Structure 1
Amino acid sequence: MKLKKLVIPIVIGTLLVGCSTEQSTDNKGQTERQEEKAKETSSNKTKTENSKEVLLEKKYFNEVEEVDGQQVIKNVDNILILVNKESALLPEGYRPSDLVIPDVRFPYTVEPSIEKAYMKKEAAEALEKMFAAAEEEGIYLFAVSGFRSYERQKVLFDAQIEKQGGDEQLAAQVVAVPGTSEHQTGLTMDISSESAGFALEEDFADTPEGQWLAENAHKYGFILRYPKGKEDITGYTFEPWHFRYVGEEPANIMFENNWTLEEFFENATEI
């Protein structure tokens, strides 16, 4: 298979699996080895057809440094930044420098002071294209919650701890620990619809709007970040409203392979 040139420096290629056999003058042994070789070649062909490898530049992997005994992500403006419960923390005061309010529908009056209305510029522009495309098909989406600062996340997390009777572990199952929320990257938007009462609940997956997003978001560079059946990988329950911007080519790769962002990096090789 020829290597496919992508828009950003990611290359999808076929994993090449080699095979070899020893030479022998014994005809019977040679025949047996030829048969084994044919079986091995067939097996390798199947592996090659079913295995994908992502070749990814170093800058797209998390770069971390130790700060006060904790691993903190350095390259925070990386469009493919991996933020989850297991990876390093986002810097406490990190706030993207290019936050803008996308020109889309919100279920509330948008004012400059409303933090959650913002996204990073590239992600906001992609969101506008996605919302416009949906509307052309009679699908009306609403942006609910985008950027969330470390400080705001801490308020939410502390409130959840109190709600759970002081149990931080139980709180972390519901609300992201400050520094581990994708919302702080400015690359995420929680999306809902009027048919869902603008709520962020699992029932959104069954609405026409939720179904349209699940089937089309990758075309505009977004992935359904916490899909059903991948809870053990993402660390979060199914969230059909939470969409993360990664760029069109990576989003298409993940959609075609049914990968989460974690699985994408598991299949990525640094070049």
Structure 2
Amino acid sequence: MLHKGRWMLGPLLLAGALLTGCGTQSGHDEARPPAEADAQVQPGGGEAIGQPQGGAAEPAPSKPEAQTGASGAHAEPGKTGSATGQSGAGGGQAAGNGDGGAAGSSGKPAQDAAEADAIRVVAKPEAISALVNKTNKLPDSYKPDDLVDPDVPFTFKEKLEKRYMRKEAAEALEKLFAAAKQDGLPLAGVSAYRSRETQAALYASYVKRDGEAAASKYSAKPGHSEHETGLAVDVTASNGKCAAQNCFGVMKEAKWLDEHAHEYGFIIRYPKGKESITGYQYEPWHLRYVGVDTAKTLVQDGLTLEEYMNQGVPVSQPKR
């Protein structure tokens, strides 16, 4: 069953959603301020043990591992070789990226302007197949109006916004959790919907901690996060172990998700080996709902959402 939230809407169109000139990514999972990843869920039962009140803190994602393009820098989506915030063939960091890099500070304003020109606004943000990433952003005023509280355990018991998902995705998540539990691998939710304001605060906290270049490998700028769509959720084992950490990738629960998530309409949004396309490090815990048919196609063909949507769809330029 679903505990209905304040927002509800009818079923949404699955297909058409997206953007012309797509090509790169973001929407990645997303920022999570430093917090304890383990022991947040009661062992065995899946019922959440409460976090401190106002506990918007989420498990800090693992620091990006070395993911290199031709020049040894983390590759930007759709590119090979250099990364955003990286300079030239040598892979040196550009100044102004929050890490105190040396060379290249004079080029930062021009780089920022070029990146702003490349951004497109999602024309149909309510579409189940909407592509949200580093070059495709949600409209500033967008907020899903059919958010509900899925009847699944989370790593916290408070009724926080990050429990909510859009109705269709929430129903699918209930089925996925039930199937995993039946196979002896109960799961728990870590974080689902995030408002624009929450994402902005989380991203800023990571930039302050790790610098912009590093933070952008595992966190999305506000407007570019899939969590803002209400169609994404981070999950972990029912005991809370390895929440949003690389170690989740070697757990049985992660293997089960990799093999079965698509049967319920979810994909591992940031798969291993596709970092240069999605723009984010491998995240076995980050699920994105796209619908059963699309999910099966993506898994069967070994495609990311970027590759699948590469034909392009209507977009509008952001107003300046």
TM-score between both structures, scaled by the size of structure 1: 0.70
Q: Structure 1 stretches of 5 or more lacking a match?
A: 1-7, 11-56
Instruction: Name which of 95, 113, 119 aligns with 2:165.
Output: 119
Aligned to 1:98: 146
Map residues 117-156 of structure 1 onto 2, 5 A cutoff: 117-156=163-202
How many residue pairs get matched?
A: 208
- Structure 1 residues 210, 195: CA separation in 2 closer, same or farther (over 3 Å shift)? farther
Aligned to 2:225: 181
Mapped partners of 1:135, 1:175: distance in 2: 30
| Partner SS for 2:150 | coil
Deviation per CA, 1:200-247: give whole Å up to 9, x if none: 112112111111111000000000000100000100000000000000
Instruction: Name which of 231, 234, 246 aligns with 2:278.
Output: 234
| Amino acid across the alignment from 1:98 | D
- State the shift of 1:110 in Å: 3.4
| Partner SS for 1:266 | coil
- State the shift of 1:188 in Å: 0.3
| Amino acid across the alignment from 1:93 | S
State the Cα RMSD in Å: 2.6
Where relative contact order (Cα < 8 A, 6+ residues apart) is larger, the structure is 2
| Amino acid across the alignment from 1:97 | D
Aligned to 1:62: 19
Q: Which structure dedicates a bigger proportion of its chain to helix?
A: 1
- Structure 1 residues 162, 269: CA separation in 2 closer, same or farther (over 3 Å shift)? closer
Aligned to 1:217: 261
Map residues 66-81 of structure 1 onto 2, 5 A cutoff: 71-81=120-130
- State the shift of 1:74 in Å: 2.8
| Amino acid across the alignment from 2:194 | R
- State the shift of 1:195 in Å: 5.3
The higher radius of gyration belongs to: 1
| Partner SS for 2:184 | coil
Matched-pair contact (CA < 8 Å) for 2:131–2:305: yes
Matched-pair contact (CA < 8 Å) for 2:18–2:125: no
- Structure 1 residues 98, 71: CA separation in 2 closer, same or farther (over 3 Å shift)? same
Q: Percent identity?
A: 44
Mapped partners of 1:150, 1:9: distance in 2: 23
Matched-pair contact (CA < 8 Å) for 1:221–1:249: yes
Deviation per CA, 1:130-182: give whole Å up to 9, x if none: 11111111110101100011110110111122223xx4333322321111100
Matched-pair contact (CA < 8 Å) for 1:63–1:74: no
- Structure 1 residues 99, 269: CA separation in 2 closer, same or farther (over 3 Å shift)? closer
Q: Structure 2 stretches of 5 or more lacking a match?
A: 1-11, 22-115, 315-320
Instruction: Name which of 187, 191, 199 aligns with 2:243.
Output: 199
Matched-pair contact (CA < 8 Å) for 2:133–2:225: yes
Matched-pair contact (CA < 8 Å) for 2:13–2:127: no
| Partner SS for 1:159 | helix
